[in-house]
Structure 1
Amino acid sequence: MDPSTGVGGARFKKPSWKDPRLLVGVLLVLVSIAGVISVVSTADRTTQVYAAREGISVGQTVKPGDLTVVQVRLDDVESGYVTVEGGIAEGKVALQRIEKDQLVPQKSLGQADALNRKPVAIPMDESLPAQAVPGTKVDVWVAMPGAQTAFDEPQLLLPGAEIAEVLAGSGALGASKTPVVLVLVTDKQMPKLLGAKANAAKVSVVWNPTGTGQ
């Protein structure tokens, strides 16, 4: 027994940097720290992207004032949205409606000549339901002037046409305002609708809650 310690046998030795057990312990600590840093770094991988400040209509030229910047985590779908880093080229228009506060998809913007639908104004004799807002669908019916009656039986011309915008209309000297709905019409459908309007047909718009049609 060692009289100075009261403990039998050899004294404990201080660990050496060459001791494999110490090296393994240090390595485990470093790996653990690296793992924590990696998790925190991954969790904080957010991107600045653009969102619509207000609803953006089809055909509308998109300007910086129409957008706001939000910080979101997109991961693998980041390439599908317009980022602040990527920016927006001047003269881009909305090819599809972008709702208020919605992130701006890359496919929603393009050149004006890429538009396959154009807004046509249709005056309304009656107001649409409150649910008929931009982005929802309506059916456009046409009744041509008749020989025996004022108008022939209405025919469905445009099923499921998308509303681009609803306007209150205008009036003068207190006259009642006539609401106007702008519906998106393809080039193929355009001649029939414009022809009906040119021939003084009665054009009616009916809300389509199912959204089916075009």
Structure 2
Amino acid sequence: MSVGAAAGGARLKKPSWKDPRLLIGILLVLASVAGVVALVGAADQTTEAYAAREPIAVGESLTAEKLHRVKVRLGEVEQYYLTPASGMEAGLVAVQRIGKDQLLPRESVGQPDGLDRKPVAVTVEENLPAQAAAGSRVDIWVALPDTRNGFSEPTLLLSGAEIAEITPASTALGASRSTVVMVLVPDAQMPKLLGAQANKAKIAVVWNPGGDAR
């Protein structure tokens, strides 16, 4: 047999299990599979979090009946939400409106003494703007009675107040002629609004889509 034929036979020889190149290839395949499994496992990790069964208004207390548990992927932001794992402090109330099925951010809840806005019922005789709904922002205008059995020029009393709730008001005969709007009023503005109501002022609500309460 020639030297060339012997060399060719050597090259075509079936690799042995002890061949370092085969062992390295197997290790690379195993490492790749393990990496894929770990990645899929990490992406599929879920945690339980609290969500609201129904909308929760500002100042409303949080109870187990108003919440339900959902499985979500929060990842690194889990610390910013209320979860069964972290527990829920007793006596918490909503300091921001929480929508139905919305998760509960920690910044949306607090203790009652931390509330700087209180719901006040405002009766409105005119039709409300179509955009007025719980959670939307409105401006509150008031016109005080004058000496001629009329009303003075309206003035802006409260800008960007958040609506907590809207309910129709009924007369003794059951006919709805006005609307009661629960607006969230900062403590600093409370005396002005209560004073206007005490003086039988005429109150109007104007939708303010980008208003900030002040």
TM range (shorter): 0.7 to 0.9
Gaps of 5+ in 2: 2-7
Q: Which moved more, 1:198-207 or 1:107-116?
A: 198-207
Q: Is the Cα–Cα contact under 8 Å of residues 162 and 213 in structure 2 kept in the other structure?
A: no
SS of 2:122's partner is: strand
Q: For the residues of structure 2 that align with 1:210 and 1:24, how far apart are their CA atoms?
A: 63
Q: Which moved more, 1:186-195 or 1:65-74?
A: 65-74
SS of 2:191's partner is: helix
Q: For the residues of structure 2 that align with 1:65 and 1:171, how far apart are their CA atoms?
A: 33
Shift of 1:169: 2.4
Kindly provide the amino acid, as one letter, of the partner of residue 162 in structure 2.
E
Q: Is the Cα–Cα contact under 8 Å of residues 126 and 204 in structure 2 kept in the other structure?
A: no
Residues 1-214 of structure 1 mapped to structure 2, 5 A cutoff: 12=13, 15-17=16-18, 19-212=19-212, 214=214
Q: For the residues of structure 2 that align with 1:100 and 1:156, how far apart are their CA atoms?
A: 32
SS of 1:200's partner is: coil
Q: For the residues of structure 2 that align with 1:115 and 1:100, how far apart are their CA atoms?
A: 21
Kindly provide the amino acid, as one letter, of the partner of residue 51 in structure 1.
A
Shift of 1:12: 4.4
Q: Is the Cα–Cα contact under 8 Å of residues 52 and 104 in structure 1 kept in the other structure?
A: yes
- What TM-score comes out, normalization by structure 2 length? 0.87
RMSD: 2.2
Kindly provide the amino acid, as one letter, of the partner of residue 163 in structure 2.
I
Q: For the residues of structure 2 that align with 1:213 and 1:61, how far apart are their CA atoms?
A: 22
- What TM-score comes out, normalization by structure 1 length? 0.87
Q: For the residues of structure 2 that align with 1:125 and 1:48, how far apart are their CA atoms?
A: 46
Number of residues of Structure 1 aligned to a counterpart in Structure 2: 207
Q: For the residues of structure 1 that align with 2:91 and 2:170, how far apart are their CA atoms?
A: 30
Percent identity reads 57
Higher helix share: 2
Gaps of 5+ in 1: 2-7
Shift of 1:212: 4.7
SS of 2:204's partner is: strand
Q: Is the Cα–Cα contact under 8 Å of residues 121 and 182 in structure 1 kept in the other structure?
A: yes
